[in-house]
């Protein structure tokens, strides 16, 4: 049978509630001594007098494997919190994380949402204005749960509860209301008469906890729990006055801004929870049960004795037992002194042995001392003086026997207790070793998974290289630019990368694509003469590294070649100090080699498929190919790594347009047409502000055109 742990304000769970949970689980309850009403020997219910932070609480997670841990907040059911509750919940969550508990369920209050959301500061940061201190504390408790959920990776379900009700109400909000009614005091309700109020029965809560605990596919979350019935505090006042006519009800009139859901739809979708009971219809019956089974028992003799006994410590009982048994032994010895059967039995000696055996040497010697005092008194009554008693060695025998009996039996008892303590210490030591090995094992498993992820995700791992090869597998050179830039950024962890295309005369470099942070900083073209040191180093097949920190030069540069001629140049404009090493430069060169391989393959495909790409006798691309190129440019513009201008011509003569534009546009620009035969000019790395020069050239050639917006093109 699976085990669950219940901690926190466990008094909120009544005996019926715990017995209902015990039908399905082994229920382990932690509570301070005298604060848990369930008998310790109840079937499937184990009560331990401990609380979070103590060593015994820590050991519970070693003894049991908990399927779920329930923490009941002190703010639930209208409470005002527990002493040191933040530390208690923190310890519970730490233990859940350490022991790998499957699920943590935190029962808090729906009043944690009783705030007004405001904004402050120039950045308009959200600020929650709570109405009361306990509302604020309950909200902070939830925030801490979210923090530890992310930090400890504990699957946490937070249930915001309304007021709770059960067959017997004593330690909850409704029980306090009933107590005031029974003692003929006025009932104090916290909010306004027209504010909403809701009650959830323990039976419905138990069903919900069953479903939350047994669900294995959920990821945790925060849920508002309601009954689905809609009442106000005014309706509650009317029901109380029906139960006790003339009952005085007053309101504290605290603000209430919580928006209660009409029905727990999220819990129904996630866990199949359907509330059944309507508490407000049974307020009168609940009050009659309270007066009969709670209030009446509290005022009876048994209740008073129980309260007195709970206030007396264990040590007081030990000394009380010493005196009571001593008096009983003396009475028995007095009335049986003349009996022939008791001449062979020493009642006083039996008393000493009993006390020494049960309570140890100290109590055994104390019992022997009492009996020695009684023996001295009897010798005095017989007329024996102290001198005669001392000098007659025969009179020492009963004193010696009493003291030896007390010391020997006490020694045996203490030895047994010491052996038990030693065994506990050994167990604790072995448990610590086991926990250490367990933690090492779990750490090794976690490290194994982490190392695997690191190996597959590290910047120069085979997994990353394989992913880069797949992303660079394309037939379009423009797509190689775009995906190559992303690969370089991801693996090199640098976002100042640019790729330039070089003309056949090696005089200019055209910006093909660059990191979004460099789009407005870099010029659309560069003169090779201005970057002669960079060009010469890259042309030789080596990586340029700006070791002298020359201003205006990139930090790294590498060439991409086709048949011995450099056609592309990849640059890294800026680098962090940790990226200055030889290892980083080698990775950069390897990645440029991958880009070169993919780029050359795409170029070879273009050359082989030239007849299927261009219209005959023109430089105009067929619609399918042109649309692919345009989609790549649109994606690059959306990513902020490139720009373009799309021009539509109002002329269908493809050969004429192709001939007029020969020598007017750049080699990187693209002529294409759509399915309707309309001819377009795609100007890469250009925006409408810089289009003026190209526009003047087109008009000089007698071409009529219009600029197409990106949205219009997508509509086409």
Q: What would the 3-class secondary structure string for 318-353 be? A: HHHHHHHHHHHHHHHHHHCCCCCHHHCCCHHHHHHH
Q: 38-42, 125-129, 482-486, 643-647 — which is least confidently predicted?
A: 38-42
Mind giving me the DSSP string for 378-414?
A: HHHHTT--HHHHHH-GGGHHHHHHHHHHHHHHHHHHH
Quick one: pLDDT at residue 108?
93
Indicate the CATH number for domain 3-167+200-230+259-278: 3.40.50.720
What one-character DSSP code corresponds to residue 74? T
Quick one: pLDDT at residue 713?
38
Quick one: pLDDT at residue 301?
46
Quick one: pLDDT at residue 196?
93
Quick one: pLDDT at residue 542?
92
The answer on pLDDT for 556 being more than 70 is yes
The answer on pLDDT for 198 being more than 90 is yes
Q: 236-240, 699-703, 709-713 — which is least confidently predicted?
A: 709-713
d(C-alpha 540, C-alpha 544), whole Å: 10
Quick one: pLDDT at residue 406?
86
Quick one: pLDDT at residue 348?
81
d(C-alpha 111, C-alpha 130), whole Å: 10
Quick one: pLDDT at residue 160?
93
Quick one: pLDDT at residue 579?
87
Between 450 and 698, where is the model more confident?
698
Fold of 462-608: Beta-Lactamase (3.30.450)
Quick one: pLDDT at residue 464?
66
d(C-alpha 682, C-alpha 700), whole Å: 19
pLDDT band at residue 119 under the 50/70/90 scheme: low
Quick one: pLDDT at residue 195?
92
The answer on pLDDT for 411 being more than 80 is yes
Q: pLDDT over 70 for what percent of the chain?
A: 89
The answer on pLDDT for 291 being more than 50 is yes
Whole-number average pLDDT of the chain:
83
Domain borders along the chain are 3-167+200-230+259-278, 314-421, 462-608, 617-715
Quick one: pLDDT at residue 5?
92
Reference 592, options 523, 630, 659, 544; nearest CA is 544
**Contact in structure between 485 and 513 (CB atoms under 8 Å):** yes
pLDDT band at residue 36 under the 50/70/90 scheme: low
d(C-alpha 213, C-alpha 190), whole Å: 33
pLDDT band at residue 296 under the 50/70/90 scheme: low
Span 617-715 CATH architecture: 2-Layer Sandwich (3.30)
The answer on pLDDT for 39 being more than 70 is no
d(C-alpha 618, C-alpha 101), whole Å: 71
The answer on pLDDT for 300 being more than 50 is no
Q: What does the pLDDT average to over 345-373?
A: 85
Q: What does the pLDDT average to over 519-546?
A: 90
Neighbours of 276 (CB within 10 A): 10
Q: What does the pLDDT average to over 523-534?
A: 90
d(C-alpha 585, C-alpha 492), whole Å: 10
Count of positions (residues) in the chain = 716
Between 215 and 336, where is the model more confident?
215
652-674 residue pLDDT tens: 788 888 888 876 777 778 888 88
The answer on pLDDT for 385 being more than 90 is no
d(C-alpha 36, C-alpha 483), whole Å: 65
445-491 residue pLDDT tens: 777 766 665 655 555 555 666 677 777 777 788 888 888 888 888 88
Pairing outcome for strands 163-165 and 199-201 = parallel
CB neighbour class for 402 (10 Å; exposed up to 12, middle 13-18, buried from 19):
buried
The answer on pLDDT for 414 being more than 60 is yes
Reference 504, options 621, 642, 668; nearest CA is 668
The answer on pLDDT for 158 being more than 90 is yes
d(C-alpha 406, C-alpha 366), whole Å: 8
CB burial readout 135-173, b (16+ within 10 A) else e: bbbbbebbeebeebbeeeebbbbbbbbbbbbbbbbbbbb
* Token pair for 291: 């007066």
Quick one: pLDDT at residue 398?
80
The answer on pLDDT for 383 being more than 80 is no
The answer on pLDDT for 711 being more than 50 is no
**Contact in structure between 234 and 251 (CB atoms under 8 Å):** no
pLDDT band at residue 157 under the 50/70/90 scheme: very high
Quick one: pLDDT at residue 343?
64
**Contact in structure between 633 and 644 (CB atoms under 8 Å):** yes
The answer on pLDDT for 284 being more than 70 is yes
Q: What does the pLDDT average to over 423-432?
A: 80
Q: CA–CA distance from 369 to each of 325, 326, 383, 389 (Å)?
A: 14, 11, 21, 17
Quick one: pLDDT at residue 307?
47
Q: What does the pLDDT average to over 88-103?
A: 88
681-692 residue pLDDT tens: 888 878 777 787
Between 225 and 118, where is the model more confident?
225
Reference 89, options 60, 124, 52, 118; nearest CA is 52
51-90 residue pLDDT tens: 888 888 888 888 888 889 999 999 998 888 888 888 888 8
570-616 residue pLDDT tens: 999 999 888 888 888 988 898 898 889 888 888 887 777 766 778 88
pLDDT band at residue 558 under the 50/70/90 scheme: very high
pTM of the complete model: 0.48
Between 339 and 150, where is the model more confident?
150
């Amino acid at each position: 049978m699976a085990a669950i742990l219940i901690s926190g304000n466990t008094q909120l769970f009544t005996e019926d509630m715990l017995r209902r949970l015990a039908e399905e689980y082994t229920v382990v309850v932690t509570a301070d001594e005298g604060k848990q009403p369930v008998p310790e020997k109840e079937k499937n219910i184990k009560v331990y007098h401990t609380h979070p932070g103590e060593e015994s609480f820590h050991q519970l997670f070693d003894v049991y494997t908990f399927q779920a841990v329930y923490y009941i907040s002190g703010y639930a059911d209208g409470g005002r919190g527990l002493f040191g509750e933040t530390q208690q919940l923190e310890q519970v969550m730490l233990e859940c994380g350490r022991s790998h508990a499957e699920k943590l369920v935190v029962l808090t209050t729906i009043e944690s949402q009783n705030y007004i959301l405001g904004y402050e500061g120039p950045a308009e940061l959200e600020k929650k204005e709570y109405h009361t201190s306990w509302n604020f504390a309950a909200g902070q408790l939830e925030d801490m749960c979210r923090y530890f959920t992310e930090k400890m990776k504990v699957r946490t379900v937070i249930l915001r509860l309304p007021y709770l009700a059960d067959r017997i109400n004593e330690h909850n909000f409704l029980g306090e209301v009933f107590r005031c009614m029974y003692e003929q005091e006025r009932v104090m309700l916290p909010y306004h008469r027209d504010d909403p109020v809701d009650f959830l029965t323990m039976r419905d809560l138990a069903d919900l906890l069953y479903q939350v605990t047994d669900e294995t596919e959920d990821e945790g979350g925060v849920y508002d729990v309601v009954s689905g019935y809609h009442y106000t505090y005014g309706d509650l006042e009317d029901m109380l006055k029906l139960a006790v006519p003339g009952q005085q009800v007053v309101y504290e009139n605290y603000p209430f801004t919580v928006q209660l859901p009409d029905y727990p739809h999220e819990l129904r979708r996630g866990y199949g929870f359907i509330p059944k009971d309507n508490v407000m219809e049974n307020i009168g019956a609940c009050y009659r049960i309270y007066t009969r089974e709670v209030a009446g028992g509290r005022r009876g003799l048994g209740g008073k004795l129980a309260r007195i006994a709970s206030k007396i410590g264990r040590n007081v009982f030990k000394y009380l037992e010493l005196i009571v048994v001593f008096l009983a032994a003396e009475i028995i010895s007095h009335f049986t002194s003349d009996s022939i059967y008791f001449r062979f039995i020493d009642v006083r000696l039996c008393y000493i042995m009993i006390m020494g055996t049960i309570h140890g040497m100290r109590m055994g010697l104390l019992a022997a001392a009492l009996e020695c005092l009684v023996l001295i008194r009897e010798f005095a009554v017989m007329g024996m003086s102290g001198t005669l008693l001392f000098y007659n060695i025969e009179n020492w025998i009963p004193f010696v026997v009493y003291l030896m009996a007390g010391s020997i039996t006490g020694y045996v008892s203490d030895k047994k207790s010491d052996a038990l303590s030693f065994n506990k210490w050994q167990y604790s030591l072995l448990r610590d070793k086991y926990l250490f090995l367990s933690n090492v094992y779990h750490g090794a498993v976690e490290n194994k998974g982490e190392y695997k992820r690191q190996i597959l995700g590290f910047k120069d791992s085979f997994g990353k290289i394989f992913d880069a090869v797949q992303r660079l597998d394309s037939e379009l050179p423009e797509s190689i630019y775009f995906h190559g830039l992303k690969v370089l950024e991801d693996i090199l962890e640098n976002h100042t990368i640019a790729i330039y295309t070089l003309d056949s005369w090696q005089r200019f470099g055209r910006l093909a694509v660059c990191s979004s942070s460099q789009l407005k900083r870099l010029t659309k073209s560069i003169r090779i003469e201005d970057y002669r040191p960079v060009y010469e180093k890259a042309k030789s097949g080596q990586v340029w590294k700006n070791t002298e920190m020359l201003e205006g030069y990139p930090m790294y540069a590498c060439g991409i070649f086709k048949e011995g001629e450099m056609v592309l140049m990849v640059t890294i404009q800026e680098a962090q100090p940790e990226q200055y090493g030889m290892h980083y430069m080698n990775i950069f060169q390897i990645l440029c080699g991958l880009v070169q391989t993919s780029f050359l393959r795409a170029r070879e495909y273009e050359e082989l498929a030239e007849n299927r790409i261009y219209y005959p006798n023109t430089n105009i691309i067929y619609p399918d190919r042109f649309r692919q190129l345009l989609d790549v440019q649109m994606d690059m513009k959306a990513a902020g790594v490139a720009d373009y201008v799309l021009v539509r011509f109002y002329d269908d003569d493809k050969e004429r347009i192709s001939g007029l534009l020969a020598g007017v546009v750049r080699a990187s620009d693209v002529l294409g047409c759509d399915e309707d035969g309309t001819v377009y000019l795609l100007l890469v790395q250009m925006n409408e502000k810089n289009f003026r020069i190209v526009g003047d050239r087109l008009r000089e050639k007698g071409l009529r055109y219009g600029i197409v917006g990106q949205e219009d093109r997508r509509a086409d």
